[in-house]
Amino acid sequence: MAMFLLLLIIGLTGLLAFILGPIKVLRNIISLIGAIGGLLYFVFKIRPGQAYALNIKIYNVHFGTGMSALSIFFGIILLGLFLIFLIASFHEDNDGAYYMFSFFSLLGALGVLFAKDLISFFFFFETMSLFSFLIVLKGNGETSHRSAFKYVMWSAFGAYAFLLGTFLKVNYTHSVMITDISYLGGNIKLWILILLLTPFMVKTALMPFHLWAPGAYTDSKDTYTVFLSGGLSKIGVFGYFIALFNVFSQIAVLYPWLLKVFAYIGAITASLAGIYAFMQDDAKKLLAYSSISQLGYVAVGFGVYSHFSVVAALFHALGHAVFESLLFLVVAGVYYRTKTHDLRKMGGLIKKMPLSFIGLLFGIIATSGIPPTIGFPSKWLLYEAIILKNDLFLVSLVFFASITAFLYSYKLIHSIFLGKLHKEHEHIKEAPFGYGFGIVVLLIPLFVLGTNPGIVVKPIDYIVRFYLKPDLAYNLTNMTTPLGHVNFPAIGITMTLLFTLSFIIYLIFGKSYRAAQEDNYTATEWIDKDFGLHYGGEFYGFMRKAFGKPLTWSFEKILNACLKVVSFLGEIARGFYMGDARVYLFYIILFFAIIVYIMGGKL
Amino acid sequence: MSILYFFLYLLLVTVIGLLYMGVARKVTAHIQNRYGPPIYQPILDVLKLFGKRHTVTHGVMHSLGPVIAYTGIASTLLFLPLGNHTPLLHFKGDLFVVLYLLVVGPLGMALGAGESSNPNATIAMARALSLMLGYEIIFFMATLPVFYHYHTASIYKVIQAQGVFPHWGAIIFPISFLAALFALQGMMGEKPFEIAIAPHEIASGPMVEYGGKYLGLLQLWHAVGIIVETGLLVDIFFGPQNIIWFFIGTFIVFYVVILVNAVMPRFRIEQAVRFYWGIPLLLAILGILQVYIWR
Amino acid sequence: MKLFNFSQSRSLWMMHFCTGCGAMEMPPTMTSRFDMERFGIIPMATPRQSDLLLITGYLTIKTLKRVVRAYEQMPTPRYVLGFGSCTINGGMYWDSYNVIKKLELYIPVDIYINGCMPRPEAIIDAFLKLREMIAKGEANAWKKYIENYEWYKKNQSEVFDVEKWSIKNEK
């Protein structure tokens, strides 16, 4: 019952927020109470193993819900991020419908976590997609309609594949429950698996299905992107787990090549999206590609399919929720003040928005996977898991992807916060409370879990241990794989100590005075105060030359080519029925010609 | 006591690194038919830089940049075994920890250089990071076969597993070693990959706005960096050495690097990245295939 | 302090800024024949990193603006070497309308080299002399600039727009 009550709380809050839409204060208070209440209720009332609270039987088909430890794990991420999104979103100019949609998308996401059968899974999944589509539609960009349309089309593509898979499964196993299908004969089980995996690949924007993501992430409202990228994409990760472990438990035995393909798709996604990311000039587009890239690692973790690679994947999903949301939140705060996402138009904001700078700094450190932040443990585990699986090319590809992370991270932080302050930004203040609150809250897990990964690895291990042979030894602060051993806080402590030492060296010697902005080495030439010293445009422009032509290839072009072929064929078909007189004349002549040709032999 | 040991260790490596820099200048001078400065010249330079009375800073991050850079490289040093010598911290020098900590230095400098709002500095950092896309992946792929062969990710265990002379990584995996040498040239930022510094083109790049103690810290960073980067190569490819032979090994590797540096012109950035994706990448892949065939 | 003075004297980083025709004499001084690097003197790319500013020969008013800017960007202690007769009294440009005659009026000079032009031997000799002075703590021209800032600015304002060209930072 507890689960339904939770869904009820979320849904009712959404409705109330809609009804109270015009009264801003009341609406905000209600939605805040709803979100906090939901989170507290989830944390205290819902336990793993609370299964089958409701069993409906219609036409011999069971519908059911249940809780697993995995659902709890993802539920906390979702509800926590939702709260952060909500508090920041009060600063934006939103109407009641916006809050209703966002609450309903949360409801859909939570429903997916609770579902025990494929039909309700599909239903909640669609609810989530639909309402997040409506929110993207309300976004602030001029292209938001197009992006939203793209988003819903891709979601629909995934959803129908899922539905097809569900029907196939029901047809062969006579059950809609999420049960094992690996005992089925023939190749049908493979098709079911691929069909069931598709919507999750769309949701986590794996490479051939990623086309919706940059647009939807860029054009949705800034604060909602925090939830969309950090939170809702986690449903895709949850889906991977369901499809690869619950629906098809014998995949490593039956289709090892499929896992390999999956892992390689993940690694290629991570690398290519990383390359696309550092070529972007729009802050949110850059982050969108970075998000795609980071979720590629998760796919690699599942594809490698060993105990601690899956642990790494789930840990990385959590890490992604933390650091990617942090980055999106900072960019949202910057947008709130500067009204731009264009990296070429910002710069030097560090002096004006120090807290946001700190947030972004540690966000990019975690994104790049530098210890002692949350990005490091998962990457470390992932590398070792891949080496243990004897795939040195895969690990090289993943490493390449992690280098691209340095590139786009630096571009982001430099273009926004470093460099020269623009004239029109001289009177900017720090981002308001809602954004600052989210930044501070997200920084806590960033460090705590980076130095004490055991806190989260323990429950994850408890989940994964059930399916795969455990080969990872860990406690709160240490982890030992068959290849190596790391003590995470030791890295942090060493760095802190050495930082103190270097800082003391820095303090002892010489005085330094603050130079004015225009006091810069410009080959000793005098420059005006608002001379454009900021290097923002064409950052990494030379990489276009280094990559050469392949950079211009994209899946979009392939799809556009397909579109051309289809419309060409359509044009021919249309001409067949509705052509002008000359065409008909041509048909008649052709007809006679054929008749003459056929008859010709007899004549 | 251990704290004292730790400081002495850091000081020793820093001083040795500075001497290496002096040797590099001396050798380059000899190649150009000059006397060159005394080999302790970089130590004097650093002392002088720290003795400057008034220097300029462009903000908090600009001041902290060199501090973070030195922090990063010094922590890498503590996780890296110097030959037979166990690393000071108990990790047995995990490869990935070392590789990721190596990035902290450039990151710190990138942040510091970025705040100076000098386009030269930022262009240089953009180049340095792009070059990383070339050499870092080659270095990683070149060291992988050794770690894979001995089935560990710990640098210390790899050193111990190699054994004496004919069983060195460099002899068992000559192709990978060659690729790693290519990568090292870029990692140390020496010509032909001196693209990020390029004094005649972008006014010494990231250091353009740094003077006095900041530049002094960056010199120390560079000095320790030399030992860490060449030391990583020696550890992985030259087997267990005692500390004296370890430094001789790093010196030999460094010597090769500066010889190449002394006679080479400079690549453009896209040429450099493309160069790495050509022959060195092929060598690295061949190295990986070799270890696959071996198994 | 003594240690710093000693190291400063042994390591002079020179600003790579060629103002006049005397710069012609620098390449032989740097390269294999005379090799000034053996005294720890090397050219540096930016004023932030340099200790020594060479005024190589005549200085037009147009260049003087830039020189003052570069000089003010250098960290202290900083040294100036006037190179050739032009910096002392205008040399062969003594009656030119746009060349300054006495460098000392605009920035403090530690040491001059006479001649038009001085040979590399003379340059090396000047470097060694400067080195001695620094080691003894006698090369204090940079302090003069800070103490008599107004006076220098007054002189500079007679030939160019000081407000625009000088660097306004509180010391």
**A359 and A441 together in one domain:** yes
Whether B57 sits inside 8 A of A542 (CB atoms) is no
C20, pLDDT greater than 80: no
Q: Is residue A297 part of a domain?
A: yes
Neighbouring CB atoms inside 10 A of C104's CB total 17
Q: Cα separation of A304 and B141, whole Å?
A: 19
The B residues from 210 to 249 touching C (CB cutoff 8 Å) are: 210-212, 215
Could you tell me if A347 lies within 8 Å of chain B, comparing CB atoms?
A: yes
Last residue of a domain, one of A187, A213, A248: A248
Helices (H), B188-266: 199-202, 212-237, 243-263
CB B80 within 8 A of CB B228: yes
**A478 and A580 together in one domain:** no
The pLDDT score that the predictor gives to residue A584 is 75
The one-letter amino acid code at A452 reads N
DSSP line for A443-496:
HHHHHHHHH-THHHHHHHHHHHTTTS----EE-SSEEE-SS-EEEHHHHHHHHH
Whether A540 sits inside 8 A of B130 (CB atoms) is yes
The pLDDT score that the predictor gives to residue C166 is 74
Question: What does the block give as tokens for A192?
Answer: 């079911």
* C-alpha pair distances (Å), C142 with each of A224, C72, C125, C126: 58, 10, 21, 18
The pLDDT score that the predictor gives to residue A474 is 83
Q: Cα separation of A203 and A241, whole Å?
A: 13
Among B60, B133, B200, B210, pick the best mutation site for testing chain A contact (most A Cβ within 10 A). Answer: B133
Nearest residue of B to residue A413, measured between CA atoms: B111
Residues in chain B with pLDDT values less than 70: 1, 85-93
Q: Is residue A463 part of a domain?
A: yes
Residues in chain A with pLDDT values less than 70: 1, 49-66, 141, 576, 578-579, 600-603
Q: Is residue A469 part of a domain?
A: yes
Q: Which residues of B touch C6 (CB under 8 A)?
A: 44
The pLDDT score that the predictor gives to residue A579 is 63
Whether A523 sits inside 8 A of B203 (CB atoms) is yes
ipTM of the prediction: 0.92
State the chains in contact with C (3 or more Cβ–Cβ pairs under 8 Å).
A, B
Question: How far off is chain C from A523, nearest CA to CA, in Å?
Answer: 8
- Residue among B96, B97, B123 minimizing CB distance to A535: B123
Q: Cα separation of A169 and A193, whole Å?
A: 9
Give the range of the structural domain holding residue A455, as residue numbers without chain letter. 255-509+531-553
The pLDDT score that the predictor gives to residue B76 is 86
CB pairs < 8 Å spanning A and C:
29
Last residue of a domain, one of A222, A248, A274: A248
Q: Is residue A514 part of a domain?
A: no
Whether C7 sits inside 8 A of B29 (CB atoms) is no
Q: Which residues of B touch C11 (CB under 8 A)?
A: 41, 44-45, 47-48
Q: Is residue A520 part of a domain?
A: no
Q: Is residue A516 part of a domain?
A: no
The pTM of the full predicted model, rounded to 2 decimals, is 0.89
Backbone angles phi, psi at C43, to 5 degrees: -75, 145
The pLDDT score that the predictor gives to residue A66 is 66
- Residue among B32, B44, B51 minimizing CB distance to C32: B32
- Residue among C31, C49, C75 minimizing CB distance to B54: C75
Whether A495 sits inside 8 A of B104 (CB atoms) is yes
Q: Cα separation of C47 and C13, whole Å?
A: 10
Whether C4 sits inside 8 A of B34 (CB atoms) is no
* C-alpha pair distances (Å), A16 with each of A11, A26, A136, C92: 9, 10, 21, 90
**A218 and A260 together in one domain:** no
The B residues from 147 to 206 touching C (CB cutoff 8 Å) are: 199-200, 203-204
| C96-132 confidence digits (pLDDT tens) | 888 888 888 888 888 888 888 788 888 888 888 888 8
**A240 and A383 together in one domain:** no
Per residue, the 3-state secondary structure of C16-32, as one string, reads: CCCCCHHHHHHHHHHCC
Strands (E) located in A306-388: none
Q: Is residue A353 part of a domain?
A: yes
Give the fold, CATH level 3, of C2-165: Rossmann fold (3.40.50)
Q: What angle do CA A483, A484, A486 make, to 5 degrees?
A: 155
Last residue of a domain, one of A248, A276, A311: A248
| Cis preceding-peptide flag for A372 (omega within 30 of 0) | yes
Q: Which long-range contacts does B36-44 make (Cβ < 8 Å, 24+ apart)?
A: B36/C35, B36/C37, B36/C38, B37/C37, B37/C38, B37/C39, B37/C40, B38/C38, B41/C10, B41/C11, B41/C40, B42/B18, B42/B219, B42/B223, B43/B15, B43/B18, B43/B19, B44/C6, B44/C7, B44/C10, B44/C11, B44/C40
CB pairs < 8 Å spanning B and C:
93
Could you tell me if C170 lies within 8 Å of chain A, comparing CB atoms?
A: yes
What is the domain partition of chain C in residue ranges?
2-165
- The number of folded domains in chain A is 3
The pLDDT score that the predictor gives to residue A512 is 75
**A308 and A325 together in one domain:** yes
A60: which residues sit within 8 A by CB, 6+ positions away?
none
| C44-88 confidence digits (pLDDT tens) | 888 888 888 888 888 888 888 888 888 888 888 888 888 888 888
Nearest residue to A114 via CA among A162, A46, A182: A46
How many whole angstroms from its chain centre is CA A441?
Answer: 20
Q: Is residue A339 part of a domain?
A: yes
Question: What does the block give as tokens for A440?
Answer: 């501070």
Question: What does the block give as tokens for B9?
Answer: 């260790």
